[in-house]
């Protein structure tokens, strides 16, 4: 009893009551409304969603392009040498653990959901930018190309934009580890408890809940579809709610172990399974087709990147762009507060250049083989009547696409089981890292929020995700992401402006000396010390 009381007291004492109270209440209200009025709620979300991508598509597309340009500048420019920590501070995590945690938290379970599915969808509903005939060879190349575009460089930069200013001020000036810290260049570290900061943190809670609920909903749907497709087990609405909520709170053991033992270990395991499944599928699948189609898609991706990045289909309805590109950008915007906060938490001791390069180069290089292999295999099997990919998608939905793909390969039963395992581990890492971020957001920036706090958020997000599936399916999940991601497109622009303001002030010190100690001494009169890496 004493231990329980102590745990509860810690939970209550650490709370930022305003942020936690508003976030918790609105989350609970959303669950209640969806539970009582599922169809009306999904319909309303759909209307709001359509209004946003119709009227403000340029906000999503333009903001993402700005983020890409600024992130590349951070990686190659002089500001990349700034260290997120004290001058001689070593990175808290080794490179393998650091990359694995960033990848598992950032790419999330979406990669297993859309890996085999997206290229297949573009193969039949060709992006209007290409104008190819559906289900043609040209459509196959364009389908893989657009998949790489949605999951490549652009997917990772919102995390970087949010993470760097938070880590910079948290590890150099002891600012709180919360999203509102990104406005420190404008209000100062000592004024991060004002109304503006509270409003940003509350918005971050809403965006995170929407983004995570979308992801957990996708992968939960995939897990349930796998049970039906492989085992013939079909669950009703109540079973769906119980299974997804149960999967969400399954991360409790990892939570109790903490970041270094829990999230880091599961993330490394996740990466291992992911890599093995990619390589085995590549070798057992249509290797020549994957290479021939994939190389052309990669070449087109780089050659036509600018056109795809700014494409809005202004001469058409824009519906395809709204359903795909705007959805993806909004989804990752809604993940930016959680993903950025988590990346900031694990980036102590690293330079800005290292953080950006890990995300933009390392993560993109790791996702590319997966999408080339899965998308290429799915299209090849459909084109050559090896597996009924499109008919299975028509019957079960896009969440089924991985299972007939693996079933068509040698050792199909084993590969399907490994794929299901990957679905579960990605689900757990997504829930784990997101509840850590929500815990930090609702405790005033504590880097180790209580287990109680994180379990509460996990249960709420699992419940909301399951109700989104039951009430509106994939369309409701898409709408949730687009709606909650919109405000963080605006906040991300503020983050960029703040970094420019701050880094311009400290950049003259970068030329003083390549010795961090001398640079620190030269900047002692300034309010922040500067460190330069040795690359």
Place of tokens 């930018």: 129
Q: Is residue 77 part of a domain?
A: no
Written as six digits, the tokens of 242 are 């119980």
Q: What is the full per-residue pLDDT of the chain (535 aa) written as tens digits?
A: 666 677 676 677 777 778 888 877 877 777 777 777 777 777 787 788 778 878 888 999 999 999 999 999 999 999 999 999 888 888 988 888 888 888 877 776 678 878 888 999 999 999 998 888 999 999 999 999 999 999 999 999 999 999 999 999 999 988 888 888 999 999 888 888 888 888 888 888 877 777 777 777 777 777 777 878 777 777 776 777 777 766 666 655 555 555 455 566 777 787 888 899 999 999 999 999 999 999 999 999 999 999 999 999 888 778 899 889 988 898 888 888 878 888 998 899 999 999 999 988 988 898 899 999 999 999 999 999 998 889 888 888 777 888 889 989 998 889 988 888 887 777 777 777 777 777 777 887 676 777 777 777 777 777 777 776 666 555 665 666 677 778 888 889 999 999 999 998 876 555 444 444 334 433 433 444 333 343 3
Do 192 and 498 form a contact (C-beta atoms < 8 A)? no
Q: Is residue 4 part of a domain?
A: no
Beta strand segments in 431-513, E: none
Q: Is residue 144 part of a domain?
A: yes
CA distance 144 to 311: 17
Question: Which of 332, 312, 345, 352 has its CA nearest to residue 157?
Answer: 332
Q: Is residue 526 part of a domain?
A: no
Q: Is residue 516 part of a domain?
A: no
Place of tokens 């009381």: 5
Q: Is residue 414 part of a domain?
A: yes
Question: Which of 456, 428, 465, 208 has its CA nearest to residue 338?
Answer: 208
Q: Is residue 382 part of a domain?
A: yes
Number of structural domains (the chain) is 1
CA distance 92 to 445: 18
**Which range marks the domain in which residue 142 is found?**
13-70+82-506
Distance of CA 109 to the CA centre of its chain: 9
Angle made by CA atoms 369, 303, 356, in degrees to the nearest 5: 60
**Which residues are paired to 351 by β-bridges?**
83
Question: Which of 358, 355, 385, 426 has its CA nearest to residue 104?
Answer: 426
Instruction: Look up the CATH number of the domain holding residue 333.
Output: 1.20.1740
Query: pTM higher than 0.85 for the full model?
Result: no
Do 85 and 348 form a contact (C-beta atoms < 8 A)? yes
Written as six digits, the tokens of 412 are 């199909």
Q: Is residue 5 part of a domain?
A: no
């Amino acid at each position: 009893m004493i231990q329980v009381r102590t745990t509860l007291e810690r939970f209550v004492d650490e709370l930022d009551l305003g942020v936690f109270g508003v976030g918790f209440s609105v989350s609970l209200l959303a669950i209640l409304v969806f539970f009582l009025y599922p169809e009306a709620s999904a319909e309303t979300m759909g209307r709001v969603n359509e209004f946003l991508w119709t009227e403000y598509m340029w906000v999503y597309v333009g903001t993402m392009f700005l983020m890409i340009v600024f992130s590349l500048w951070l990686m190659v420019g002089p500001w990349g040498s700034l260290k997120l920590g004290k001058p001689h501070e070593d990175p808290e995590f080794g490179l393998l653990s650091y990359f694995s945690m960033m990848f598992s938290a950032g790419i999330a379970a979406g990669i297993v959901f859309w890996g085999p599915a997206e290229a297949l969808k573009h193969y039949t509903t060709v992006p209007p930018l290409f104008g190819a005939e559906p289900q043609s060879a040209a459509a196959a190349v364009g389908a893989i190309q657009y998949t790489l575009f949605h999951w490549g460089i652009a997917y990772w930069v919102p995390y970087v934009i949010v993470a760097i200013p938070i880590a910079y001020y948290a590890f150099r000036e002891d600012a709180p580890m919360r999203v509102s810290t990104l406005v420190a260049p404008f209000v100062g570290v000592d004024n991060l408890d004002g109304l503006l900061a509270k409003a940003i943190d509350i918005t971050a809670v809403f965006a995170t809940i929407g983004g995570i609920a979308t992801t957990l909903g996708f992968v939960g749907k995939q897990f349930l579809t796998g049970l039906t497709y492989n085992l013939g087990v079909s669950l009703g609405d109540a079973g769906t709610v119980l299974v997804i909520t149960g999967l969400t709170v399954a991360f409790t053991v990892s939570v109790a172990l903490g970041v270094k033992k829990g999230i880091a270990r599961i993330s490394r395991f996740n990466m291992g399974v992911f890599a093995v499944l990619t390589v085995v599928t590549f070798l057992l699948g249509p290797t020549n087709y994957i290479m021939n189609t994939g190389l052309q898609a990669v070449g087109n991706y780089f050659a036509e990147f600018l056109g795809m990045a700014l494409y809005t289909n202004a001469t058409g309805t824009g519906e395809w762009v709204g359903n795909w590109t705007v959805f993806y950008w909004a989804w990752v915007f809604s993940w930016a507060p959680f993903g950025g906060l988590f990346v900031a938490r694990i980036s102590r001791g690293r330079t800005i250049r290292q953080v950006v390069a890990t995300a933009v180069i390392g993560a993109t290089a790791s996702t590319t083989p997966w999408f080339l292999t899965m998308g290429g295999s799915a299209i090849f099997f459909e084109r050559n009547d090896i597996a009924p990919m499109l008919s299975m998608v028509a019957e079960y939905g896009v969440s089924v696409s991985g299972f007939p793909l693996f079933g068509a390969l040698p050792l199909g039963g084993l590969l399907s089981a490994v794929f299901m395992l990957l679905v579960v581990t990605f689900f757990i890492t997504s829930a784990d890292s997101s509840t850590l971020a929500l815990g930090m957001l609702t405790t005033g920036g504590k880097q180790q929020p209580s287990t109680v706090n994180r379990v509460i958020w996990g249960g709420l997000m699992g419940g909301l995700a399951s109700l989104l599936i039951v009430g509106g399916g994939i369309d409701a999940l898409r709408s949730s992401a687009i709606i909650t991601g919109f405000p963080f497109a605006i906040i991300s622009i503020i983050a960029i402006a703040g970094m420019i303001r701050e880094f311009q002030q400290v950049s003259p010190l970068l030329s003083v000396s390549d010795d961090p100690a001398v640079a620190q001494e030269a900047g002692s009169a300034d309010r922040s010390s500067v460190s330069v890496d040795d690359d």
